[in-house]
Amino acid sequence: MRFAVAIPIVCVLSCVVAGCDSEDENGPRTVTMSGVAYTFNTPDPVVGAEIRVVEHPGLVATSGADGSWSLEVPARSEATPWVTHGEHVTMHLQTFAVGEAPIERVYFQMVRPNVYDLLAQVLEVTPDPELCQIASTVSEKAIQTMSFAEFKAHGAHGVADATVTITPSATEVVYFNEMVIPDRTHTQTSRDGGVVWTNVPPGRYTLSATHPTKSFSEVTVTCAAGRFVNANPPHGLAEL
């Protein structure tokens, strides 16, 4: 009887001294979230970017020479990754529902300030520091299992002829044309797949896309004052 009681006590003590693994009886305590930071409309990795998570402010990673990064985030939680770098605009991604499986290919499609300003001029808007800017891409299924090298060599990632909505309704959506330029004359996605909403009030929103023959995942984005959110591929409005 003494040995039967002592064994779990020894296990508990060894866990305290040596540290427990990342799983318990209810599943993993953390999961790996990983990806690459790179510059918008280029294959160039962003080196030395700092990646954090809004809901878990103690977590931080720095992108390496190839732009790659990795974080251990709490399982069964929410996670909104965001990134800062001296030569790029601070950017947030979508809000992920973290389960018990790793979340891979979480890419930061980072924008340089001059490009951000140029896009604002094309859109004829002035980003309001009290509001939020949202972008996403309606993207094809083929890119979801590609390596980053394959992803950047693939060309356009979008699906044409989709329409996109934001709930609750905020501002009008503007679609990007095939030249990767916002174009208010378009009423559906081009092969680029890009979409943008400007000066959106702070809040929590759901992005969704409809298409004659394809279906896409819904995306949760969390807006705050001054935030730029880019729910970019291969996540975001991804083909199912």
Q: What distance, in Å, lies between the first and last C-alpha atoms of the chain?
A: 55
Neighbour-count burial of 226, counting CB atoms closer than 10 A to its CB (0-12 exposed, 13-18 middle, 19+ buried): middle
**Residue 28: per-residue pLDDT:** 77
CATH topology of domain 26-238: Immunoglobulin-like (2.60.40)
Three-state DSSP class for 16? Answer: helix
**Residue 92: per-residue pLDDT:** 98
The one-digit pLDDT tens for each residue of the chain (240 residues) are: 333 333 333 333 333 333 344 566 667 799 999 999 999 999 999 999 999 999 999 999 999 999 999 999 999 999 999 999 999 999 999 999 999 999 999 999 999 999 999 999 999 999 999 999 999 999 999 999 999 999 999 999 999 999 999 999 999 999 999 999 999 999 999 999 999 999 999 999 999 999 999 999 999 999 999 999 999 999 999 999
Distance separating alpha carbons of residues 56 and 74, to the nearest angstrom: 8
Residues 6+ apart with CB under 8 A from 136: 94, 164, 194, 195, 207, 219, 221, 230, 231, 232, 236, 237
pTM (2 d.p.)? 0.88
Q: Calculate ∠ Cα 91-147-220, nearest 5°.
A: 35
**Residue 25: per-residue pLDDT:** 66
Name the residue ranges covered by the structural domains of the chain: 26-238
Nearest to residue 51, comparing CAs of 60, 38, 43, 42? 60
User: What tokens does 9 get?
Assistant: 């006590």
